[in-house]
Amino acid sequence: MIDRKRRLDCANGVTKADLVLKHGRILNVFTEEIIEADVAVCGDMIVGVGSYEGIREVDCTGKYLVPGFLDAHMHIESSMVTPGELAKVLVQAGTTTIIADPHEIVNVCGTRGMDYFLRCANQALIDIFFMVPSSVPATDVETNGCGQFLASDMMKYVDHARVLGLGETMRFTECAMGERRMADKLELFSKKHIDGHAPGITGKMAQAYRLAGVENDHECASPKEVLDKLRAGFHIYIREGSGAKNLETLLGTLLDAEVALDQCAFCTDDKHIEEIQKEGHISTCIRKAIALGVPVAKAYKLGSYQTAMFYGLKNYGAIGAGYHADIVFMDDLKEVRPTAVMKAGRILSEIDYKRRYEAEVPGELLHTVHVGNVTKERIQLACDGKTDVIRMNPHQIVTTHLLEEVPVENGYFVPNEVYNKICVVERHGKTGEIGVAPLKGFGVKGGAVATSVAHDSHNLIVAGDNDDDILLAVKAVEEQQGGYAIVAGGRVVDVLPLPIAGLMSDARYEEATAKMAAMLTETRELGISEDVDPFITLSFMALTVIPEIRVTERGIYLFDE
């Protein structure tokens, strides 16, 4: 532990710093300018920016030094690897801190899932903070694993050092109307931070939602919505994930309107490990923002300092005295491709990326897939005339409700490559229910795709163009106790096991990434469009807080605005 007096002596130039990064081009988020200077580091803290000498010095001539990136809102589970494995990939992309909402694992396993994540965070290579899930289950029309997660269950986490507040309040109507169950949770976290999730609301409903204490929203998809919420005082988290890509629309709107971006930050929400490794993380958001015309320094602030400010992380997100020594090194500010990363005062190496950073997985998190008797008769859908159809939309998780004539034989829907059959099978061993609907825009030909990842209650979800392959895909996922399965022509083409709560792999990220890359290619061979993420987009088809139409284990659900 380095004492305060020694750090002050280093800042004053009386004593040499532990480490000095010499002659770097530093992005100053306070003034939004580039300054050539040295950065002095003692332990895990920056003690000064200027002209310094160090016990150890690193020549950074020609290098740009920017603050480590922060993700304002994400779900670790959507990466499909453990927190420790995900952290290794994120930090290589320049992300050194994340604010995570563990409502996926909590929906399946309750407090046992939350406690497991908190233990994982203690060993991870990056800083992981949490928002306590507010909406478990997301609605009362579906069956999850843990049942209700109430204010009484949350009390043990309120004062935890890694907990920043209440997670995305997806029951936004209940928030705005003052419903008692949500009001108790809002009151419990009234002195901390409260995340939002309210797709499509504007006007008086948005005003009431803000009045309830909700501070931000990451679900904006249209120009009208983002401007209305920004003007209402919300922090707008501009999302660019695997399934939902809203950055171009939202930033384009804000730039055209010539409004300030000081209330905005970047988030990924849900992003697969394979995509993170291939293109980046918050680094991708920054790169795309710059290409759209956001000033370079402002783009970096959206990915670092502004997130830290919104959550009261006063020593994060900047290169300055008293800030955590989390620094990203780059050759080109516009390309946003890290050449090295410093975390907590130490420049990371290949050795750091090869280590395992794991907490023991409790046995009860490893056996969570309990489907009932799934037969061909149980997945039939009676149709007479026009039928409710779910249409997927390119690069979005919002859906469109269609009423269309679908293929029918003997009074029952017959799927094909245009109208796939989507089924949600209750997998927590509680009701054994199965919901069925026609799905348009997925495009599977000659097969089926299934997964135990189905936001947010995480029942088993499957889509295909024939019943035999659908049933085989369900069986493949059950046998693995969670995961993704691709079936074609009566055979299992590939499987990615996700045994931890049916959501995450217990393998190293390299193995999970390679498997996911191969499976993405295999889904394209089945006809699934490049405009649709075959896994993440499918997993959202059961989420009843996203408009316009969904399917749960209980059947079709129409979004009520």
- Do 298 and 370 belong together in one domain? no
Q: Long-range contacts for 211-214 (Cβ within 8 Å, ≥24 apart)?
A: 211/176, 212/169, 212/175, 212/176, 212/178, 212/186, 213/186, 214/169, 214/172, 214/175
Residue 444's pLDDT band (cuts 50, 70, 90): very high
155 and 279 both lie in a single domain: yes
Instruction: Please write the tens of the pLDDT for every residue from 522-548.
Output: 999 999 988 898 998 999 999 998 899
- Of the three residues 260, 289, 317, the one that is the final residue of a domain is 317
Per-residue confidence (pLDDT) for residue 561, from 0 to 100: 47
Domain shared by 270 and 374, yes or no: no
> 222 and 98, same structural domain?
yes
DSSP strand pairing (399-404 vs 387-392)? antiparallel
Q: Are 421 and 470 in contact (CB under 8 A)?
A: yes
Q: pLDDT tens digits, residue range 20-61? A: 999 999 999 999 999 999 999 999 999 999 999 999 999 999
Q: Looking at the predicted structure, is the pLDDT value of residue 372 above 90? A: no
Looking at the structure of the chain, the number of domains it has is 2
Query: Could you tell me if residue 62 is inside a domain?
Result: no
Query: 448 with 462: CB under 8 angstroms?
Result: yes
Residue 114 lies in a domain: yes
The answer on 376 and 229 residing in a single domain is no
Output the domain CATH number for residue 226: 3.20.20.140
The verdict on residue 102 lying in a domain is yes
Considering the domain architecture, whether residues 307 and 374 belong to the same structural domain is answered as no
Mean pLDDT within 447-476:
97
Phi, psi of 524 (to 5 degrees): -65, -35
Question: 0.75 cut: is pTM over it?
Answer: yes
**DSSP run (H or E) holding 154:** helix 151-154
Do 307 and 433 sit in the same domain of this protein? no
List phi, psi (to 5°) of 131.
-110, 130
pLDDT in tens, 105-120: 999 999 999 999 999 9
Q: Which residues contact 509 (CB under 8 A, 6 or more apart)?
A: 81, 85, 86, 88, 89, 273, 277
Range of the domain at 540: 366-558
Report whether 508 contacts 89 (CB < 8 A).
Answer: no
User: Average pLDDT for residues 346-352, to the nearest whole number?
Assistant: 97
pLDDT of 232 higher than 80: yes
Q: What is the mean pLDDT of residues 90-97?
A: 98
Share of residues in the chain with pLDDT > 90 (%): 93
Average pLDDT of the residues in 206-224:
96
pLDDT tens-place string over residues 268-327: 999 989 899 999 999 999 999 999 999 999 999 999 999 999 999 999 999 999 999 999
Same domain, residue pair 114 and 180? yes
- Looking at residue 257, its pLDDT comes to 97
Of the pLDDT bands very low, low, confident and very high (cuts 50, 70, 90), residue 480 is very high
Q: Examine the fold and report which residue of 258, 284, 317 is the final residue of a domain before the chain moves on.
A: 317
Whether 3 maps to a domain, the answer reads: no
- Report the pLDDT value the prediction gives residue 271, as an integer from 0 to 100: 93
Rounded mean pLDDT, 163-171: 97
The residue out of 299, 317, 335 marking a domain boundary is: 317
313 with 379, same domain: the answer is: no
